[in-house]
Amino acid sequence: MPEQTATPRLATLLLAIDGSDFGDGAVRVTTGLAITNESTVVVLSVLANNQSNGMMGLDTRAVEEERRWAVVRRVVAGIEAAGVRVRGMVSDEPNVAAAVVATAGNVHADMIVVGRRARRGLVRTRRGETLARIIADADCPVLVVPRAGELWRRRILMATDGSTASEVAGSIAGLCALGHHMPVTVLSVENPKHSAERQAEARGIVDEAVRKLVAGGVDASGWVRRGAPADEIIAAVGDVGADLIVMGSAGRSGLGRMMVGSNSQAVITNTTCPVLVTTARMVERQAQRFPPETVPAAPALTESDRPGFLVVADGAGGTAALDYACQQARAVDGRVEIVRIVAGGESEADGRQILDALAARAVVLMGETAPLHLAHGDPATVIIDLIVADPSISGAVMTAGPGDSGQNIADLITRRGGDLTVPLTIVPARPRI
């Protein structure tokens, strides 16, 4: 069975803005992410603590608050126009980083998105430098987007040193790769300043990270470079054509939560693409959904109460059906089940291999294992029997295609369509991205 990983479900994105043009890239990327993952977006602006009652009785803080609300409303309207669920907030917490981190916790954000200003250097936290403190204190990944940043389309570069923070980065890189149908290049750097023993670990670290990604259905390859880590990471972006960097912060450097690791700092400051940063403290982060504002929080669903989506892995394997079912399940806090019906000359071992590959992919997409069924017999009958036996199944998903896939769909509809009690969704083998 596939390994369980701490993979977030991007149900809620917190977009922190300051009203400047430097946040334009962050708004674009957040909107694209929300569309892809069917996320809710919370737009936050923090009222600076340097506003007070001014001369002649003018309350400059009130003026600034109204200005912030105007910006928030404008950003919310733009995101909403793209068909995304969104709400706006203005915080009067005097410390900007503390406000962002606290709000992320309050709305159960699965990712914080912030814009990056011009390349002036990311100052390490001594008095709470904003971006560094957000990364250090956040319980969820932080995506830093430059002004000209765009949603990634080509390749993800995952930089790893084998640390716990890098393990979290690996699961997030897998989620992004599957969600956007992108390959991942795993990079580890042999630092000449380290011992020969430490440098020799790089190849094993890369191989293990690639193995986990491939087991989850990701197209992944590895690369070991030698030199200053930040320089090599930035150079590798251009060499492999990556448009997203995923990396752990603080790693094994001993800096802990007090500051952004020096490698992360240098990469964030100097790269031209978005950087998704994780820390070791995010390991225990459990994704939670953002509750509707007007509906009281419902009791937690038991496993039998959660709506299930039955994925029929026939034909070439049902990858497209699984991806669609996971997307639907995440939207309703549901789950997926996968069935492979052994037919023709296929052996049980072959069927089990296909099931295990899909199960590994489901772990990456859902953050949990999926029940598996290896069945024999008439496909239409097997599908109907599984639906009848489990009242929590709310839909079945199949992949359209030639051969067995098309025949199974036709048989189910023509011979047993009257016995279906849940919607049947047919997904193209190559869905439009």
Mind listing the pLDDT tens digit for each residue in 133-176?
888 888 889 999 998 899 999 999 999 888 777 777 888 888 88
Q: Which of 284, 317, 345 is the last residue of a domain?
A: 284
Query: What ranges make up the beta strands (E) of 371-431?
Result: 372-376, 393-400, 424-428
In a domain, 7, yes or no: no
Which tokens is 13 given? 């994105």
Tell me, yes or no, whether 313 and 167 share the same domain: no
Residues 183 and 312 in one domain: no
Same domain as 331, residue 277: no
Mark whether 130 and 25 lie in a shared domain.
yes
Residues 138 and 277 in one domain: yes
In this structure, what CATH number is given to the domain that contains residue 337?
3.40.50.620
Same domain, 238 and 356: no
DSSP state, residue 155:
-
As a whole number of angstroms, the distance between CA 270 and CA 248 comes to: 17
Domain termination residue (choose one: 251, 284, 317): 284
Asked whether residue 264 is assigned to any structural domain, the reply reads yes
pLDDT tens readout for residues 230-255: 899 999 999 999 999 998 875 434 33
Whether 433 maps to a domain, the answer reads no
Q: What are phi and psi of 193, to 5 degrees?
A: -75, -15
Task: Quote the CA–CA distance of 189 and 170 in Å, as a whole number.
Answer: 16
| 121, part of any domain | yes
CATH of the domain at 269: 3.40.50.12370
Residues 271 and 371 placed together within one structural domain of the fold:
no
DSSP-derived secondary structure letter, 128: -
Task: State the residue range of the domain holding 279.
Answer: 12-284
Neighbours of 74 (CB within 10 A): 14
| CA 287/CA 131 separation, integer angstroms | 22
> Whole-angstrom Cα distance, residue 317 to residue 354?
6
Using CA atoms, how far apart are residues 334 and 11, in angstroms rounded to an integer?
12
Same-domain check for residues 77 and 214? yes
Residue 3 covered by a domain: no
Do 21 and 160 fall into the same domain? Answer: yes
Same domain, 260 and 338: no
User: Tokens standing for 152?
Assistant: 């990634």
Q: Find out whether 185 and 242 touch, Cβ atoms under 8 Å.
A: yes
Q: Does the pTM exceed 0.75?
A: no
Handedness of CA 75, 80, 82, 85 (dihedral sign): positive
Please give the pLDDT value at position 403.
Answer: 63
What's the pLDDT tens digit per position in 296-340?
343 444 445 688 999 998 765 578 888 889 888 887 888 999 998
150, amino acid identity? E
**Cα–Cα dist 280/45, whole Å:** 27
Q: Tell whether the torsion through CA atoms of 398, 399, 404 and 408 is positive or negative.
A: positive
Task: Give me the pLDDT at residue 220, please.
Answer: 93
With tokens 């569309």, the residue in question is: 35
CA distance linking residue 426 with residue 249, whole number of Å: 42
In a domain, 302, yes or no: no
Low-confidence ranges of the chain (pLDDT < 50): 1-8, 51-57, 120-128, 251-260, 284-303, 433
- How far is 96 from 107, CA to CA, in rounded Å? 17
Asked whether 10 and 40 are in contact (CB, 8 A), the reply is no
- Encoded amino acid at 227, one letter: G
d(CA 221, CA 299): 43
Contact 348, 408 (CB under 8 A): no
Start-to-end CA span in the chain (Å):
29
- Is 61 within the bounds of a domain? yes
Q: In terms of domains, do 51 and 125 share one?
A: yes
Are residues 267 and 333 located together in one domain of the fold?
A: no
Give pLDDT, residue 273.
93
Whether 1 is in a domain gets the answer no
As for how many domains the chain has, the answer is 2
Give the end of a domain, one of 284, 299, 318. Answer: 284
* Contacts (Cβ under 8 Å, ≥6 apart) of 253: 261, 262, 263
